[in-house]
Amino acid sequence: QVQVAESGGGLVQAGGSLRLSCAASGLTTSRRAMGWFRQAPGKEREFVAGISRSGSSTAYADSVKDRFTISRDNAKNTVYLQMNSLEREDTAVYYCAASFGYGPTPTTLDRVEHWGQGTQVTVSA
């Protein structure tokens, strides 16, 4: 059974940092491009960051570029999202996403095969 589990969310003041982790079981992440999406109340789920199977290529939404960094450790089947200079607009539930096997980096919802349950990130003033 495939499980994708996020951790590391919480409450942080604006300007602060958080590091999210995504641990996968039941699948080999080295065969999957991975990504992070987020969904704020009343808004649609949106792409945040993505990383290729090897980790050599990354992609970011314009709103988080130069503030967030995605990385992966295939030996640990884990993907990370380092979030710096957090803004109130970053408040959302963050979801880890696994692509279809050997598929492209998940930058859109239709490229995602497996989702995590989400972790809440709240940025206060």
The pLDDT tens digits of the residues spanning 14-49 come to 999 999 999 998 887 778 999 999 999 999 999 999
| Confidence category of residue 50, pLDDT binned at 50, 70, 90 | very high
The per-residue pLDDT of the chain, averaged, comes to: 95
In SS3 terms, the chain reads as: CCEEEEECCEEEECCCCEEEEEEEECCCHHHCCEEEEEECCCCCCEEEEEECCCCCCEEECCCCCCCEEEEEEHHHCEEEEEECCCCHHHCEEEEEEEECCCCCCCCCHHHEEEECCCEEEEEEC
Q: What's the rounded mean pLDDT across residues 84-108?
A: 96
